Each structure stands twice: as C-alpha cells, then as structure tokens.
Structure 1
Amino acid sequence: MSPSQARNLRLDLSRRHLLKAFGASAVTAFGLSFTAPLLAAPVFATYPFQLGIASGDPSSDGFVIWTRLAPDPLAMGYGMPAAAVEVEWEIGADSRFGDVVRRGTAIARPELGHAVHVEVDGLQPNRPYWYRFIAGRERSATGRAMTLAGVGQQLESVRFAVAGCQQYEQGYYTAHRHLAAQQPDFVFCYGDYIYENRSTRVWNSSAGPVENPRQHFGDELYSIDDYRRRYSQYKMDVDLQAAHAAAPWFVTWDDHEIDNNWVDLNEQDGTPAPIFALRRQMAMQAYYEHMPLRASSLPVGPAMQLYRRAVLGNLLDLNLLDTRQYRTDQVCGDRWGVPCDETRRAAEVLGERQHAWLANNLRRSDTKWKTLAQQIMVMDLDRDPGDGVTENLDSWAGYRQPRERLLKMVRELGQASTVILTGDEHQNFAGELHLDGKNPGDTPIATEFVATSISSGGDGVDQRSDTSAIQEVNPQLKFHNAQRGYVMCDVSHERWLTDFITLDQVSTRGGTARSRKKLVVEPGNPVLQPA
C-alpha cells in the first residue's frame, strides 16, 4: 500500500467514526476535508444534552450556565469524538426568549469531558433569567436562573432550598421534582451528590436486607472515566434535571464525591497518600466537569478552591465551607459509636486559611443574617442515651478544639443572627448551638438546621426510636425526623422560617410530599420557636 493510499484509508476510517457518532455534516465541523455535503455544524446521531442543563454560583450581575455534551453517556467516550465542539448559548429576559439579552459561543473540550461552563455577566440584579444551549441542530431544555441582589441593596426576602445525600440506588428523586415546582431563588447542595460505591442489588440496612430499587452502573470509582459515568447516571435522572433547571445551585461536596469519610489525603482503606492524591485529582476533575462552577474552582492537581461567599443585598451573607479538604484525620479509626478520648487533640476542620477567611467575612458583614452553609453537624449531641458518651467522630463533635474556635468566633462576630445549614446525617434535625452541648448555657450562640437526604437511607420513618432517646438527653435538640426530603428556608428581616419537607416513601415513584415541621428564629435571638 502506498503512503497516499494509507493516508486515504486513515481519513476514511476517521470519517466513518464521525458519521457514526454525529452524522454527515460532522466531517466539516471537526476540521476534516472530504468530498461530502458541507454543513455549518454537526448533526448528532442522538440527543447530545442527555445530562440536562444547570446554572449556579449566581452574583448580582450574572451566573454560571452549564451543560455537557454526551449523546451516549455511559459508553466509553460517551458518544463524542476527541475534538473540541462549539456550543451556542442564549440568555432570555423571558422564558420564550422574545428578548435575548446575551448570547455567545463556548467550546466543549474533550479535556473536560465536553463540559461547558459559561460565566454570564452584565445582567440586572435580583431578577429571573432563562437560558438554553444549541449544538448543531440540537437545542437543550430551557433553564431558569436568578441574579442576586447587589451588595447593600435593600432585599425584603429570599426563599431557597437545602438538599443533598442522593444515593441513586436507595431511592427515587421525587423530592427533586417537588423542589423544582417550588421555584426557589436558589438551591444549596451540601454534598454527596454521587456515591462512589460499586453496584449493589441488596443493601444491608439496620432493619435487615433491602433490595435496592435501582442500581449503580459499574464498580467502585477510581478513574476519571469511572467518575464521569457515575455522574452521567445520576444526571440522566429527569427529576434531578428538573431541580437544576428550576433554579441556580450553590454546590459544595462532602465525602462520597471522592471516597467515604475522606479528609485531606487520608481515606478509609489506608491507601498511600500519593496514590490517593491521584484518585482525588480525578474525582475533583469529574466534579468540576459536572457542576455549575466558575473557573476559579477549576482543580489544580489534587486541590480545588471550593469555599466561597455570596452576599444577598442587605439580608443574607452566605458562606459556603469546605470541611473535607483541609481537615485533620478522624480519631479512633473513625468508628461509629465508639467513645473516644482523643477528640480534644490539636486539629483542624476548616484549616487556618479558611477559618481566617470566614472570620474576616463575619467581621465585615453588615447583612441581617449570617449563614454558614456546610456539611457536618456542629450540634454537640451525646448519641448514647445511657451512662456513656458517644459522638459522631466524622462531625464537628470529633474535633473539640476547632469546634470551640468556630463557635467562639460566631459568638463574637455573628451578632446572634447566625444560622448554620448542614447535611450528611440522613435525618432532619433542628437545634441550638452551645460551646458545651452536654451542659448548654442559657443563651444559644447560633441555630443549626440539618437537612435530611433526598434518597440515602431509603424510605425512613417519621421518628426513629434511637433518635427520640437521644433528644431526651440533649435539650438543645428541638426537632428530629428520619424521612427523606429537603428543607425550604424563607428568610426576611423579621424572621428565618425553616420548613422541613418530607416524602412518605422513595422506594417507588410517586411519593407524596408534605410540610412536616416549620420552625422560626428571630435575628439577634437564636432560640428556636414553632412557626
């Protein structure tokens, strides 16, 4: 075979690959010249927006809009060639795009799994906008986003949701569909967006073996392709897509985005730090690829800037924290329910730099409310109703010195108007924060609302007997519930109202949502009251 014949064969094979993935016009769009009809853009063989769309990290003049091209999401290569693709985007002042106020073209690059992150600016504050993407002849669904009120601007109220812990195998995302119908101003996702474990038909719950209603694709996650496919499986859920399309999200992570109970370069199986750093790096890249984050959060090696701040007019100062990346390893083997005397050791949860950043934010804040949006419970609960004392070592209770530093800082700078938003527990909790939960003082320092899971833990029950016993010996705990759902916060200058929304079941589709409990806290008085 002559050199020219070999070259023609390679071109023909390349052309066949593109024709299979995108259709006849792809050969031109990807820079290959053939004797074929010349069209302006590729024609995809299947719909490329299988993973939906999202917006996030809103500011007073804009937000991020996100999508990822994946015609065949679970396949190797997810149905895309190893080439950059142009994606058009539009921002409308109305849902019909009768007034398109911004438009442009972004590049979906194979280095980032053909994800697109567009940072839109130049918009008006404190109002809704709508967005969509176009690739070739294909158009995405329409999403709704909101800009924030400008710093210092008079803002009467804000209404937002808190959600997370959405173990795909253990239930359906009915709560997300209900959340989407509420059209909140934004959503705070506290983490555990995916779970990294292998596919499991049977889940050994505390009540005995339970058959999972659906199953993960593949084994435990280690490579970038593993993490991409897991995110793809979650994002193909149309209820989750609806929640993303309904409002912008502020996202942070907890542990399962990488590995259960990881902190810093430590993980539960004792993997050497340099090896775990490689896994962490791949997991962080996949997280960025699938979240509506700004370029400032683009991972650099096994590190990612995820703590950040948003100020909503003169009403709310939202501090999003990272309680995993800078934390000291857990004590006593990180075992649940084991009394441990090492919790008072010198340790970090936020790390010195993040703690100083948070202190500076609180010191210069002049909003009515200060909020710490984070992952692990701050409330100091004795989880052994008997004679002993048992704590969750993967919460702030396992880190006594950092917890005291945090609460003393909040007491000094939070103006008694600080609310902490938490997840991770797979239960709803509401309580008041004291330096010593075993001997609470007369005046709480702050209030904490812990949002239950979207699906993790299965259907659950209204009141777990073990948690009821815990509440009896922990007077600072004012409410608990062990069903699935999410939290809605309705915040004004007069009061902060938290509504715990629960589902009767998630093991089958069509669960019924209800308002289980409403609690109120007033600025300057962090004592919980019934609504």
Structure 2
Amino acid sequence: MAPTGRHSRLAEHAFSPHDAVMGAAVRHLGRRRFLTVTAAAAALAFSTNLPARGAVAAPLRKARITSDPFTLGVASGDPLPGSVLLWTRLAPEPFLEDGGMGTERVTVEWEVALDEYFAAVLFRGTAEAHAEYAHSVHVDVQGLTPGTVYYYRFRTGVWLSPTGRTRTAPAQSSVTSSLKLAAVACQAYQDGYYTVYRHVAQDDVDVVFHLGDYLYEYAVNSAGGERRYTDIVLPDVFNRETMTLADYRLRYSLYKSDEDLKAAHATHPFVVTWDDHETENNYAGSIPENAIPPEEFLLRRAAAYRAFWENQPLRAAQLPQGPDAQLYRRLHWGTLAQFDILDTRQYRSDQAYDDRPHAPGPESDDPARTITGAAQEQWLLNGWQSSSALWNVMPQQVCFSQRKFDVTADAALSMDAWDGYRASRARVVAGAKAAGVDNWLILTGDVHVGYALDVKENFDDPASATVGTEVTCTSVASGRDGVEKPANWDLYMQANPHMKHYDARRGYVRAELGRQSTRLDFRTVSAISTPGAPIATTASFVTEAGAPGLKPA
C-alpha cells in the first residue's frame, strides 16, 4: 500500500500502452538501451538438464573468483509437473555495482538429487552466467517426476552454493487431495526485520506465492532504516531512490542478502508477481507517479522489469523485452487447483480522480477502464471456461473486493484498487459466473493488513450472492510492527459487511486446499522492529467447496 495521491498527473501524459506508433518507438528505444529476447537468444543464461550418468561435461571456464559468489542464495520457482526453474546469482561483493564479478562470463555447474546429501545425483548440467544479466543463472530443469521433492545446488570453481529444496507439481490429471501454500507480500527492507520469512521457511508448505512489492524503490539509510544497525553500515548506493538498472540490481542485492529471506527461498519454490514498488509507487501502465514523459518513465520501467527477472526464479517466457514483460501466467496443482497469476500494473488505465480516495463516479466507472488490459482479461476468462480444477485461485496484487472507507452513502473508495476499476471487476465477476467457477479464491497483497472478505456479486447489496473468497496476506515488513486492531477497525467492519476479518500485524496467510474445503490461517508476529519474534495463528476461516463464503474455523 502506498501513499494516496500523486504529484500533478498531467492529462497530456495519458499514454496508452496499446498505441502502436508510440509502442514501437518505445520498444525501439528499449532495444537501444537494453538487450531484448532476440538479441540475447544466443547468450541467455539458461540450461537444459543432461542425464548425470553417461553425460559428457562441458569444459569449465576458470572463474577467478576469490570469495564466495553465492551471497544472495538460491531459489526455485514456478513448479510444473515435469520441471522447475532453479535460480542463483553470482555476487561475491553484492554491494558493488557489478557484484564483484566484472564483465567476465562464468560457467556454473548445477545438480539435482532426491536427497540433501546428493548421494545420487539425478541430473546435472552447466549454465553460463553473463554480466549482461548481472551474472544471474536460470536453469529450467526438465524431465522431473511429478509431485516430487528435489534438492539442488550450484558450483563454480571451488565454490559451492547452499542447498535448495524444491518440488514439482502433481500431474495435471492427478486427483490431488491437498495443497498447502503461503501467501506473502510487501517487504520494505527499511521497515523492519524479515522475521516472517524465518517462520515461512519453517512451515510445511508446498509453495509460496509472493503477491508484489518484493522491492521498494525508496532510499535506505546507512542504518537500514528501522533495523537500526549498530554493527553494519550500509553504503550510500542504497540511500537514494532506484532509477537505473544498476540501482535496481543493487537494491535486490540488499534485499536478498537477508538471511531469513534466503532461508525461505532455499526451502520452498516461489511463484512471484509484481506490484508498483518494484518499479515506482502507484504507476499505471506507462504513466508514472510524477509528471514526466511516458517515454522517459518506460526507460525506468525497462530497468526495473529487467532487474526483477534477473533476481527471481522466472522462466525465459517472462524475460522482458524493453519495458514490456508478460508476467501473467497459469499453473496447476493436479485437478485440485488452477492458479491464474495476474499482473494488475503493466496494462491498467490511469487511476481515476488523480489517484485519490473518491466515491464512485463517471470517471472511475467508465466501462473503457481496465486494470488488467483487454488481452489479460480475456485470457483469464478463457482459462476459467476450460478449467477442470476444483479450486480456481487468482493470485494478484490489489484489493479486489469493495472497501468503503466510511459508512456514508458516498463513501470514498481506493482508486488504486479494483474499486477504481468497477467495470473491469464486474466483467471478471460475470466471467467467473458464466464459467461456472464455484470455488474462487483470490489471494491479494498491497494493503499491509490482513482481510478476509466474501466476494459479492453486488457489493452494494449485502444480500446478493457470495461468489468467492478473498484474503489479503498483510505484509512481511511494510508498515513496521503494526497493531491488532487499527483505529478504524470498527468503522471498516461496519462499512463493509462482507469483511469478516481485519488485522494490521505483520505476517502471512497459510492456505490448505482440500477436496472438501479450504482452510485459511492468518499467521502474525508480535513485532519486526527486533528480530526473532514468535509467530501465532491469530484467525482461521474455512470456505467449503461448492458453498462460497467464509466461516470461522
């Protein structure tokens, strides 16, 4: 969640990302500044697996690395039945612009085994870590067994990475009985410690969904903000807003240096999507927060998107092309769940009413307005039409359900959430109904609080049908320690009868999907201003298959 309002958004800067002429010009500009998929095809740091036995290993380059290059840890992501994406990034000096790697291309070995001791390596191969991609490595391992836990690691020269643990999804036709997931979001480094991630790492979940604001563009001072380091002095490179590719790369280095975040990544596969702060607060499509030309902002967006891909366990399909990247995608967990991961930033119309809280009106209710873009919206609806999953889960960024800020008839709503795109929301609700989606679960980040919400067919009529369930997962760190009951708790609960829970402490949501029901646990810590706080389940709900709506567990 970001401050409301923006600085003098000018009408002449209303730029459509679908404008063919300007789009071509921007893509051309992006190609001049950044490598594109086509230009980089021969040099991508990707690898496919080779059998461990009988394979002829490629000759290794001399790495000439004199200290541990795996300071940012390892990660895996986007599990499929037969493959998973493995990630690492070489950075022996993570707080230097080049990570201490210079411009040399380095060969990295990788291994996958069924045991953490690598007694029997099943797959191994090599990948090239390129300076053009900040020496990140993305390995799309193929030929794995569905529904299986694997261990992986990387090696370059004499250096061995930490061991990572991951898993594949069950076969899409498999009648899977359960899935346990964690939903996290919003981790402003300067707001406190990542204690929540230590607990996520220790939780017995199958996969973690990160719903945006993995990174914040704001300056981080030498003491780490609210972390108030006394034994660490962060360099000045972090004490400025991120603007350039080097800035964003360095900021990921700072975030990924956190031991608790590294532990969570090493323990569970992640499925990531972004919100605004990975680029800039409250941007909308090609329109920045401040009044600068879109073509200038899109250079910044290209840098942000590029660094996001470099630092996340994402496949080649998500590699940006200049300022554009297709992040929305679909995953399955047997016949139990279909995940439609959305991107509600890149294609949205500009926020109505200068992005300030406002009652619904002609500007916000314009049917032409969209938060997903037409192509993504149609992709979502088509996916529901063809879905055979019991649960259709929609991981996305901003609050989907209506959220009135007052009890008055003309109560203001957030113009940065789906409330500011009511026609877009109505089309999605209608599409879910037309597709016969009976068990619709929406996972949301952004707001730095935990909500449990019944999704209504008509939010202005509390008696209308409940068509789904939404949970917001609060934040890992953004908003500092937080409180159990904010000052506006009574007001919000009265103004929004479909809101069943509201808590402003830091934490995550744990969901266990089953054939009969889904259980939703809100897990919160008492504080993040000091590390090591215990975690507790502070609220639990159940939504039954075939009977939308939240019930206390």
**TM-score, normalised with respect to structure 2:** 0.86
Matched, 1:430 2:452: yes
State the shift of 1:438 in Å. Answer: 2.6
State the shift of 1:389 in Å. Answer: 0.6
Matched, 1:67 2:88: yes
CA separation of 1:86 and 1:328: change in aligned 2, threshold 3 A = same
SS at match of 2:384: helix
User: Structure 1: how far apart are the matches of 2:524 and 2:228?
Assistant: 19
One-letter amino acid of the structure 1 residue matched with residue 504 of structure 2: A
Matched, 1:152 2:173: yes
Q: Which of 375, 378, 381 is equivalent to 1:359?
A: 381
State the shift of 1:42 in Å. Answer: 2.8
- How well do the aligned residues superpose, as a CA RMSD in angstroms? 1.7
Q: Which of 464, 469, 475 is equivalent to 1:453?
A: 475
State the shift of 1:218 in Å. Answer: 2.6
One-letter amino acid of the structure 2 residue matched with residue 242 of structure 1: A
Alignment of 1:349-498 (within 5 A): 349-386=371-408, 388-498=410-520
- Identity within the alignment, %: 39
SS at match of 1:487: strand
One-letter amino acid of the structure 1 residue matched with residue 382 of structure 2: N
Aligned match of 1:87: 108
Aligned match of 1:231: 252
Matched, 1:298 2:300: no
Q: Which of 508, 520, 528 is equivalent to 2:542?
A: 520
Q: Deviations over 1:73-122 (max 9, x none)?
A: 11122101212100000001111111211100000001100000000010
- Bigger relative contact order, structure 1 or 2 (CA pairs below 8 A, ≥6 apart): 2
Aligned match of 1:192: 213
Q: Does the Cα contact within 8 Å between 2:284 and 2:348 map onto a contact in 1?
A: yes
Q: Which of 182, 194, 198 is equivalent to 1:177?
A: 198
Aligned match of 1:114: 135
One-letter amino acid of the structure 2 residue matched with residue 467 of structure 1: W
User: Structure 1: how far apart are the matches of 2:147 and 2:69?
Assistant: 32
- Unmatched tracts of structure 2, length 5 or more: 1-59
Q: Does the Cα contact within 8 Å between 1:430 and 1:478 map onto a contact in 2?
A: yes
Q: Does the Cα contact within 8 Å between 2:404 and 2:411 map onto a contact in 1?
A: yes
Matched, 1:101 2:107: no
Aligned match of 2:331: 310
One-letter amino acid of the structure 2 residue matched with residue 404 of structure 1: A
What number of residue pairs does the alignment pair up? 486
SS at match of 1:445: strand
One-letter amino acid of the structure 1 residue matched with residue 220 of structure 2: S
User: Structure 2: how far apart are the matches of 1:200 and 1:403?
Assistant: 40
State the shift of 1:321 in Å. Answer: 0.4
SS at match of 1:410: helix
SS at match of 1:90: strand
User: Structure 2: how far apart are the matches of 1:420 and 1:67?
Assistant: 30
Q: Does the Cα contact within 8 Å between 2:194 and 2:261 map onto a contact in 1?
A: yes
**TM-score, normalised with respect to structure 1:** 0.89
CA separation of 1:318 and 1:510: change in aligned 2, threshold 3 A = same
User: Structure 2: how far apart are the matches of 1:359 and 1:442?
Assistant: 22
Q: Does the Cα contact within 8 Å between 2:309 and 2:320 map onto a contact in 1?
A: yes
CA separation of 1:211 and 1:165: change in aligned 2, threshold 3 A = closer
CA separation of 1:168 and 1:414: change in aligned 2, threshold 3 A = farther
State the shift of 1:373 in Å. Answer: 0.7
SS at match of 2:325: coil
User: Structure 1: how far apart are the matches of 2:223 and 2:246?
Assistant: 25
User: Structure 1: how far apart are the matches of 2:221 and 2:526?
Assistant: 24
CA separation of 1:323 and 1:40: change in aligned 2, threshold 3 A = closer
User: Structure 1: how far apart are the matches of 2:144 and 2:153?
Assistant: 16
Q: Does the Cα contact within 8 Å between 2:221 and 2:238 map onto a contact in 1?
A: no
State the shift of 1:211 in Å. Answer: 5.3
User: Structure 1: how far apart are the matches of 2:375 and 2:505?
Assistant: 37
One-letter amino acid of the structure 2 residue matched with residue 503 of structure 1: V
Q: Does the Cα contact within 8 Å between 1:380 and 1:436 map onto a contact in 2?
A: no
Q: Which of 255, 276, 281 is equivalent to 2:297?
A: 276
Q: Does the Cα contact within 8 Å between 1:332 and 1:340 map onto a contact in 2?
A: no
